C-alpha cells in the first residue's frame, strides 16, 4: 500500500512481518529479506528473531572499509538495540537499496547524452535509474550518503512498532515509552525486543517515522586505556578465525578448479598451445580455449595451474604496448595534442599571458596489488546460473555473466561474498564472465582463481599520465594568481564506464573513448586554494593500455601534481611552504586548521633544507553547498579534509619514510576506530604508490607479475603514523580515499627537503636518488 510520495511502501513479508521501502520514487519491490522461522522482517533493512538477534541487511561490498559495521551501527543506534545481538546479512540486489548518489555522480557514464538531468544527488532521473537497474554499486565512498538515511528511517519505524506493541500490553500511550539496549521501558517496566517482535510486526509504523533528531556520531578524542570501542567491527572475529567467507572459500559438490592464462594487451587471438604436454599432468579434467585466453580445469587448482604451464600458450599480438611507446604517446600528446578545456575558475588563462613557471609531472601505470586475486565460483545447471563472487557492481556482473552463456537476467543469481581488498578492482567483472563460460563448458561447478601473474596481466592499472603545471605568481609576494594544468592521459573513467555500463570489451572500450575528453578523470582539479584564475585542460590519448579505477582515483594523481607544484612555487620565491599555503586558504578555514594541527603534531620546522620534512594538504568534496561553491544553494555534501607532514630521507635502495603525521576533518565521524583504520591504511597505501606499485610493460605484459617486483612497503618499512581528528558536525565524509591522496606529495616534498632533489615522477624512485 502506497502512503505518500516520500513515504512508506508496505506489504506482507515472507514468513510474516512488514516490508518497508523508503524512497522518493513511488515503487514497490519484492521483499529483499527472507525471514526464517522465528524471525520477523521490519522493512528492507532489518529482521528481529525470537531470541532478540537483530539482523541488518548490508547492500554494499565489504572489502575492508568496514561497511558491514557502519550501517548496522547506525541501525542499532537508531533502533536502540544491543550491539552484542547485532548480526549482518549481505543484501540481495534490489531497487530497495538504490545507490542514488553514486548513480547521480556517474550519470555521464550511463546517460552520456544529457547527464546534467541526473547529476544532482536529489535528481529524480538518478533515482529512477538506480531503482530500475537496480544499481547497488559500492564506490566513491558514498555508502553512508546513500544508505544512512533509509537505514535510520527503517530502524526508527521498527522502533516505533516495538514500542507500540509494548504500550498495548501495558495499556499506555506508546509515546511515553523508551527503547534502548534491546528493551522497551516504561515506569520501571521493561520488555525485550525478542518478546515483542512478533506482535510488533502487526503494527503499521508512523509516517514519517520518529527518527532521532541527532544522528549518531563519535568524538575525535582518543579512548582512555580502560575504555572499549563502543561499536567494534563485526567482521573482525570471523576474519581472525578464518570463518569469514571470501570468493575462494566457496566449496560446492562436484566442483573443479580453473587456472587461466590471458593473452597480453594487444592480443588478437590464441595462436597455439601444447595440449599433449598438458594431458600428462595428473588431475587435469579439461582444457577450454577462447580467442584471448586459455584455461585448464583440474581436480585441484594446483593441478590446473601445472597443466596450464605445460600448455605453454602462444598468442598473436597486434600493437602490443610497452613502456617506451606509452611514454612516447603521452609525450606527443602533452606537447602537440589538441586539448579540451575541462574546468575553469575566474577567467582561466585567457588574459594571463606567459606563465611565470612551468614544470612537468609524470605518473606511471599503477596496480592495486590486492591481497585476494580475482576469484569466482559458478554453477550452471537446469538453465540457471549461480555465481559466488565479490563484486562492487553485482547487478552488472550478474548480467554480463548471464549474457556470456546465453541466459536471461532472471535465470542468473549472484551470491555476494566479501572481498580480500579491492581498491575499486572489483568494479571489473571479467572473472565472473570467465567462470560462467567455464562452468558451461565443464557441465559442473567451477571455481576460477587468477594467479598473481594473471592479476597483473589482465587487471586494469591506474592510467598513466603526463602533466604540464603552469603558474602565474604575484610580483610582490610570489603567491599564485593563476594555475593551468595540461594533462595528457587516457579517458580512463569513460573507458571504465563503457566496460561497466555498456558491457564493452577492454579493446572496444579503448576504441570508443580514445579521443574523448573525460571530466570525471579530473575530480578535485579546482583546488581548495584561493587562486583567482584556474584552467584545467585534458589531452585525451589512447596509449593502447586499458586502465581502470584505483583507490584515490583522480584525487591521488591531482594531489601529487598540485601539492608538489605549490611546494615548488614556494621554494622558487623563498617562502616557507606552510605559511605559503595558509595564505591561500582563507576560503577554507577548516583545511587551514588541519594544516596548523599537523604542523604542531610533527613539530614542523619550516621545511628547511636537509630537514627531511614535507607538507601537503587536500580536500575531497566541497565543490557545492559548503560555502566554497559557485552554487551556494546546492545540496550539502560531505567534505573530507586532511593535512599531512611526512618525514623521509634517501635510504638503502630507495626511499625511507620514518613518520607520517596527519590531521583530518571528516565532519561527523560515525565510527572513530574505523575512521582511524581507514586513514592509516590510506596513508600507507599512498606511500606504496609513492615508492612502488608501478608496472613497466614489454610486449603488452608487465615486466614482473610478482608482488616482490612492485617495491611495495614491507612491515619493516612502515613508518610511525600519527592521526588526529578535528571535531566536525557536517555530513560524514568517507575516510578511505583522502589519506591516499595526500601521502605521495608529502613524501615527495620531504625528499626534496632531505636531498635537494625534486622528483616529479611517480613512483619516486623511478628517477633514482
The pLDDT tens digits for 276-287 are: 999 999 999 999
The verdict on 483 and 502 lying in the same domain is yes
Q: Which helix (H) or strand (E) holds 180?
A: strand 178-180
User: Does 226 fall in a domain?
Assistant: no
Range of the domain at 687: 337-366+461-767
User: Does 473 fall in a domain?
Assistant: yes
The verdict on 493 and 380 lying in the same domain is no
Residue with cell 584455461: 295
Q: Which residue, of 410, 433, 458, is where some domain finishes?
A: 458
Per-residue pLDDT tens over the stretch 561-596: 999 999 999 999 999 999 999 999 999 999 999 999
The verdict on 540 and 590 lying in the same domain is yes
pLDDT band at 28 (very low <50, low <70, confident <90, very high): low
The verdict on 465 and 451 lying in the same domain is no
The four Cα atoms 598, 593, 554, 150 give a dihedral, to 10 degrees, of 110
**611-640: b (≥16 Cβ within 10 Å) or e:** ebbbbbbbbbbbbbbbebeeeeeeeebbbb
pLDDT in the model for residue 628: 37
- Percent of the chain residues past pLDDT 90, beyond the cut: 87
pLDDT in the model for residue 226: 67
Residue from 471, 462, 375 nearest 418 by CA? 375
Distance CA 433, CA 419 (A): 17
User: Does 716 fall in a domain?
Assistant: yes
Number of H helices, E strands in the chain: 20, 29
The verdict on 434 and 505 lying in the same domain is no
pLDDT in the model for residue 609: 78
pLDDT band at 769 (very low <50, low <70, confident <90, very high): low
The verdict on 295 and 175 lying in the same domain is no
What CATH number does the domain containing 690 carry? 3.30.365.10
Distance CA 485, CA 122 (A): 31
Per-residue pLDDT tens over the stretch 83-130: 999 999 999 999 999 999 999 999 999 999 999 988 888 889 999 999
The verdict on 429 and 465 lying in the same domain is no
User: Does 514 fall in a domain?
Assistant: yes
Q: What is the DSSP letter of 761?
A: E
The verdict on 148 and 297 lying in the same domain is no
pLDDT in the model for residue 608: 80
User: Does 719 fall in a domain?
Assistant: yes
Q: Which residue, of 164, 182, 200, is where some domain finishes?
A: 200
Residues in the chain: 769
User: Does 241 fall in a domain?
Assistant: no
Query: Measured in Å, how far apart are the chain's first and last C-alpha atoms?
Result: 69
pLDDT band at 17 (very low <50, low <70, confident <90, very high): very low
The verdict on 309 and 184 lying in the same domain is no
Per-residue pLDDT tens over the stretch 164-219: 999 999 999 999 999 999 999 999 999 999 999 999 999 999 999 999 999 999 99
Q: All 3 cell numbers of residue 711? A: 617495491
Q: Which residue, of 437, 458, 479, is where some domain finishes?
A: 458
CA dist list (Å): 381 to 53, 297, 410, 413: 35, 18, 14, 12
The verdict on 295 and 353 lying in the same domain is no
pLDDT of 627 > 70? The answer is no
Q: Which helix (H) or strand (E) holds 660?
A: strand 654-665
User: Does 326 fall in a domain?
Assistant: no
Q: What is the DSSP letter of 393?
A: S
Per-residue pLDDT tens over the stretch 366-418: 999 999 999 999 999 999 999 999 999 999 999 999 999 999 999 999 999 99
The verdict on 306 and 343 lying in the same domain is no
Distance CA 107, CA 97 (A): 18
CA atoms within 13 A on the CB side of 581: 29
Cis (ω within 30 of 0) for the bond into 571? no
For range 143-151, the mean pLDDT: 97
pLDDT in the model for residue 705: 84
pLDDT of 7 > 80? The answer is no
The domain tally of the chain equals 3
Q: What is the DSSP string of 8-31?
A: -B--BPTTSEE-----SS------
The verdict on 743 and 608 lying in the same domain is yes
pLDDT mean across residues, the chain: 92
Per-residue pLDDT tens over the stretch 348-379: 999 999 999 999 999 999 999 999 999 999 99
User: Does 109 fall in a domain?
Assistant: no
Amino acid at each position: 500500500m502506497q502512503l505518500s510520495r516520500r513515504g512508506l511502501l508496505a506489504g506482507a513479508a515472507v514468513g510474516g512481518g512488514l516490508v518497508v521501502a523508503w524512497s522518493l520514487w513511488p515503487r514497490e519491490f519484492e521483499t529483499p529479506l527472507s525471514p526464517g522461522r522465528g524471525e520477523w522482517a521490519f522493512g528492507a533493512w532489518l529482521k528481529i528473531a525470537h531470541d532478540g538477534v537483530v539482523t541488518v541487511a548490508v547492500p554494499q561490498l565489504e572489502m575492508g572499509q568496514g561497511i558491514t559495521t557502519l550501517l548496522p551501527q547506525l541501525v542499532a543506534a537508531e533502533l536502540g538495540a544491543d550491539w552484542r545481538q547485532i548480526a549482518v546479512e549481505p543484501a540481495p540486489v534490489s531497487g530497495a537499496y538504490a545507490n542514488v548518489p553514486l548513480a547521480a555522480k556517474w550519470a555521464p557514464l550511463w546517460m552520456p547524452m544529457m547527464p546534467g538531468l541526473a547529476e544532482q544527488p536529489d535528481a529524480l532521473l538518478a533515482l529512477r535509474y538506480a531503482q530500475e537497474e537496480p544499481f547497488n554499486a559500492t564506490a566513491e565512498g558514498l555508502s553512508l550518503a546513500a544508505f544512512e538515511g533509509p537505514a535510520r528511517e527503517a530502524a526508527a519505524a521498527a522502533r516505533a512498532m516495538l514500542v507500540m506493541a509494548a504500550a498495548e500490553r501495558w495499556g499506555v500511550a506508546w509515546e511515553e515509552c523508551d527503547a534502548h539496549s534491546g528493551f522497551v521501558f516504561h515506569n520501571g517496566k521493561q520488555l525485550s525486543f525478542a518478546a515483542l517482535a512478533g506482535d510488533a510486526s502487526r503494527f503499521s509504523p508512523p509516517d514519517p517515522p520518529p527518527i532521532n533528531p541527532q544522528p549518531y556520531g563519535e568524538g575525535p578524542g582518543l579512548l582512555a586505556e580502560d575504555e572499549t570501542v563502543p561499536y567494534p567491527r563485526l567482521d573482525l572475529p570471523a576474519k581472525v578465525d578464518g570463518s569469514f567467507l571470501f570468493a575462494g572459500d566457496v566449496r560446492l559438490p562436484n566442483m573443479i578448479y580453473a587456472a587461466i592464462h590471458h593473452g597480453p594487451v594487444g592480443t588478437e587471438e590464441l595462436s597455439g598451445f601444447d595440449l599433449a604436454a598438458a594431458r600428462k599432468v595428473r588431475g587435469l579434467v579439461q582444457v577450454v580455449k577462447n580467442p584471448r585466453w586459455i584455461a585448464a580445469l583440474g581436480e585441484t587448482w594446483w593441478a590446473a595451474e601445472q597443466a596450464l604451464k605445460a600448455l605453454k600458450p602462444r598468442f598473436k599480438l597486434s600493437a602490443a604496448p610497452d613502456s617506451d611507446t606509452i611514454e612516447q604517446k603521452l609525450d606527443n600528446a602533452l606537447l602537440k595534442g589538441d586539448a579540451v578545456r575541462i574546468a575553469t575558475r575566474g577567467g582561466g588563462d585567457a588574459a594571463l599571458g606567459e606563465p611565470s613557471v612551468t614544470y612537468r609531472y609524470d605518473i606511471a601505470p599503477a596496480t592495486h596489488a590486492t591481497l585476494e586475486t580475482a576469484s569466482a565460483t559458478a554453477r550452471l545447471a537446469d538453465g540457471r546460473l549461480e555465481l559466488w563472487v565479490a563484486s562492487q557492481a553485482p547487478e552488472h556482473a550478474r548480467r554480463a555473466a548471464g549474457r556470456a552463456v546465453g541466459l536471461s537476467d532472471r535465470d542468473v543469481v549472484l551470491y555476494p561474498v566479501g572481498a580480500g581488498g579491492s581498491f575499486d578492482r572489483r568494479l571489473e567483472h571479467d572473472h565472473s564472465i570467465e567462470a560462467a563460460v567455464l562452468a558451461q563448458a565443464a557441465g559442473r561447478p567451477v571455481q576460477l582463481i587468477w594467479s598473481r601473474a594473471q592479476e597483473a596481466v589482465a587487471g586494469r592499472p591506474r592510467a598513466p599520465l603526463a602533466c604540464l603545471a603552469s603558474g602565474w605568481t604575484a610580483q610582490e609576494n610570489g603567491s599564485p594568481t593563476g594555475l593551468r594544468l595540461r594533462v595528457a592521459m587516457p579517458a580512463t573513467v569513460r573507458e571504465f564506464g563503457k566496460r561497466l555500463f555498456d558491457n564493452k570489451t577492454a579493446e572496444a572500450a579503448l576504441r570508443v573513448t580514445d579521443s574523448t575528453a573525460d571530466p570525471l578523470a579530473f575530480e578535485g582539479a579546482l583546488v581548495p586554494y584561493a587562486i583567482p584564475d584556474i584552467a584545467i585542460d585534458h589531452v585525451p590519448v589512447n596509449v593502447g593500455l586499458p586502465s581502470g579505477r584505483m583507490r584515490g582515483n583522480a584525487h591521488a594523481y591531482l594531489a601529487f601534481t598540485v601539492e608538489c607544484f605549490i611546494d615548488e612555487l614556494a621554494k622558487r620565491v623563498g617562502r616557507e611552504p606552510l605559511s605559503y599555503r595558509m595564505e591561500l586558504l582563507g576560503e577554507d578555514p577548516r583545511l587551514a586548521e588541519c594544516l596548523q594541527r599537523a604542523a604542531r603534531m610533527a613539530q614542523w620546522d619550516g621545511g628547511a633544507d636537509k630537514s627531511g620534512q614535507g607538507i601537503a594538504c587536500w580536500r575531497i568534496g566541497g565543490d557545492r553547498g559548503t560555502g566554497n561553491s559557485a552554487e551556494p544553494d546546492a545540496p550539502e555534501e560531505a567534505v573530507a579534509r586532511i593535512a599531512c607532514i611526512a618525514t623521509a630521507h634517501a635510504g638503502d635502495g630507495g626511499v625511507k619514510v620514518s613518520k607520517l603525521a596527519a590531521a583530518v576533518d571528516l565532519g561527523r565521524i560515525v565510527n572513530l576506530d574505523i575512521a582511524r583504520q581507514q586513514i592509516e591504511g590510506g596513508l600507507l597505501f599512498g606511500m606504496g604508490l609513492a615508492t612502488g606499485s608501478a608496472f613497466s610493460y614489454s610486449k603488452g605484459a608487465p615486466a614482473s607479475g610478482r608482488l616482490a617486483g612492485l617495491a611495495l612497503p614491507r612491515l619493516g618499512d612502515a613508518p610511525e603514523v600519527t592521526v588526529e581528528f578535528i571535531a566536525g558536525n557536517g555530513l560524514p565524509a568517507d575516510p578511505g580515499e583522502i589519506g591516499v591522496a595526500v601521502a605521495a606529495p608529502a613524501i615527495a616534498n620531504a625528499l626534496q627537503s632531505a636531498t635537494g632533489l625534486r622528483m616529479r615522477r611517480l613512483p619516486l624512485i623511478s628517477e633514482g636518488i
